[in-house]
């Protein structure tokens, strides 16, 4: 920005206001401080701010109410909430209410400066390319990720955060919630997008076959291995490998997978020669792995190695408002080429709205496809 970015700071603690005013001013920001949420709303009504830093717990209007009011007036305004009572509940509340980010007290002023600059840069780029937000939503939609409920907004944020790193990711969620779609979205938004994205379902395969599928094998390594062949780790070099249904794997295979994740090397079944690979691993399970770790059926070291970043996918019954969006999307996809999308009868719409979908998005999609196929 050509002029100094103007930041509004709202906090009932004088020491916090003074620290932020001094620290941000020294880093090139213009700062206005207020003591309460009501004063923040009055200031925002008189002046246009580039970003807002607000405490959550304040007299009269609290930080969450402030977010509601500021979002209604200016949807794209970066708003960062602060609290000394840092908790997952507070963070989730902040995100659900529309806050851009959440930081706990105490904090370093350098971290606040970096956070603000990141959001201000992103806002400037979005203003220079106004189609950027629509393009992002379009890419998510094309990937099959449909929804604007608060739980899905949180998932989108986690996808964006995961895509910026090469860390392993663990995706948890019930069957049919779209774990592979999330893994593919993480890949498509990452620097690895031009390299392969490969997936394998780990259930139903013996240890030998699963290791051969992933790590490759030499000729004669096991019955049926007539030729030497590379595995999916080698084929995905430079890209992403999605491992689904990890809960079904044996402790022996889990040990082999852990060695690969720790060393970055694979050995084909029957070979002693290691091969270096650069693969980002995304794992998934519809069973709660933490419970399996406690029960001793899943290795704790592998669990912690996989869950550097975690994404918990909400069931469809917890995604208020998304069923209608998904229904419209699936009906549009089922239309005849060049024709109009099929329409639901009132009875069908009522049945959908009252169903809790134990099979989640997959159940909804299959039900609509079947209905369209059988409809006369």
- Please report the pLDDT score of residue 1 as a whole number: 43
Q: What values do phi and psi take at 163, rounded to 5?
A: -65, -20
The mean per-residue pLDDT over the stretch 221-249 comes to 89
In this predicted structure, which of 88-102, 135-149, 242-256, 347-361 has the lowest mean pLDDT?
A: 135-149
- Which 3 state secondary structure label does DSSP give 39? helix
Q: Which residues contact 266 (CB under 8 A, 6 or more apart)?
A: 214, 215, 216, 231, 233, 234, 260, 274, 275, 277
- Structural tokens at position 229: 């062949």
What is the rounded end-to-end Cα distance, in angstroms, of the chain?
59
- Please report the pLDDT score of residue 362 as a whole number: 92
For the chain, the average pLDDT equals 86
Q: Which residues contact 263 (CB under 8 A, 6 or more apart)?
A: 274
The mean per-residue pLDDT over the stretch 319-332 comes to 86
Element spanning 271, H or E: none
Share of the chain above pLDDT 70, in %: 90
Place of tokens 């977010």: 67
In this predicted structure, which of 194-198, 216-220, 352-356 has the lowest mean pLDDT?
A: 216-220
pLDDT for residue 223 is more than 80 = no
Over the stretch 281-298, which tens digit does the pLDDT of each residue have?
999 999 999 999 999 999
* Entry pTM: 0.65
The mean per-residue pLDDT over the stretch 248-265 comes to 94
278 within 8 A of 238, measured Cβ to Cβ: yes
Side-chain-side CA neighbours of residue 278 (13 Å): 6
| Rounded Cα gap, residues 240 and 237, in angstroms | 8
In this predicted structure, which of 136-140, 182-186, 249-253, 355-359 has the lowest mean pLDDT?
A: 136-140
pLDDT for residue 146 is more than 70 = yes
Which residue, 88, 87, 91, is CA-closest to 63?
A: 91
| Rounded Cα gap, residues 104 and 262, in angstroms | 32
| Rounded Cα gap, residues 198 and 60, in angstroms | 53
- Which 3 state secondary structure label does DSSP give 241? strand
Q: Which residues contact 218 (CB under 8 A, 6 or more apart)?
A: 225, 228, 268, 269, 270, 271
- Structural tokens at position 244: 């689904």
Query: How many Å separate Cα 99 from the centre of its chain?
Result: 16
The mean per-residue pLDDT over the stretch 362-373 comes to 90
149 within 8 A of 322, measured Cβ to Cβ: yes
Tell me the residue ranges of DSSP E strands in 268-360: 274-276, 280-285, 309-312
Q: What values do phi and psi take at 50, rounded to 5?
A: -90, -25
pLDDT for residue 349 is more than 70 = yes
- Please report the pLDDT score of residue 328 as a whole number: 87
């Amino acid at each position: 920005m050509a002029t100094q970015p103007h930041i509004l700071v709202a906090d009932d603690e004088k020491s916090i206001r003074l620290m932020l005013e001094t620290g941000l001013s020294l880093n090139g920001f213009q700062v206005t401080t207020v003591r309460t949420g009501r004063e923040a709303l009055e200031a925002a009504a008189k002046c246009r701010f580039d970003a807002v830093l607000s405490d959550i717990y304040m007299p009269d209007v609290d930080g969450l109410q402030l977010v509601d009011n500021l979002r209604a007036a200016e949807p794209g305004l970066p708003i960062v909430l602060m609290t000394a009572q840092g908790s997952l509940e507070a963070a989730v509340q902040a995100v659900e209410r529309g806050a851009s980010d959440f930081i706990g007290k105490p904090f370093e002023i350098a971290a606040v400066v970096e956070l603000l600059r990141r959001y201000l840069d992103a806002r400037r780029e979005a203003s220079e390319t106004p189609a950027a937000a629509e393009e992002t939503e379009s890419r998510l939609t094309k990937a099959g990720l449909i929804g604007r409920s608060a739980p899905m907004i949180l998932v989108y944020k986690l996808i964006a955060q995961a895509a910026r790193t090469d860390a392993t990711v663990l995706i948890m969620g019930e069957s049919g919630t779209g774990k592979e779609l999330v893994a593919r979205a993480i890949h498509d938004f990452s620097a690895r997008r031009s390299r392969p994205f490969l997936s394998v379902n780990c259930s139903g395969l013996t240890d030998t076959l699963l290791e051969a599928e992933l790590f490759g094998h030499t000729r004669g390594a096991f019955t049926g291995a007539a030729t030497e062949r590379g595995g999916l780790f080698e084929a995905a070099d430079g890209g992403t490998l999605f491992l689904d249904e990890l809960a079904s794997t044996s402790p022996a295979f889990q040990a082999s997978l852990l060695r690969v994740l720790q060393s970055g090397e694979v050995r084909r079944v029957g070979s002693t020669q290691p091969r270096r690979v650069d693969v980002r691993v995304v794992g998934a399970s519809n069973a709660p792995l933490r419970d399996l770790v406690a029960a001793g059926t899943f290795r704790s070291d592998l669990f912690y190695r996989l869950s550097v970043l975690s994404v918990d996918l909400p069931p469809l019954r917890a995604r208020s408002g998304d069923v209608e969006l998904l229904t419209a999307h699936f009906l549009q996809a089922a239309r005849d080429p060049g024709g109009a999308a099929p329409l639901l009868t009132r009875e069908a719409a009522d049945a959908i709205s009252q169903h809790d979908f134990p099979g989640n998005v997959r159940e909804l999609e299959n039900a609509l496809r079947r209905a369209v196929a059988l409809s006369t």
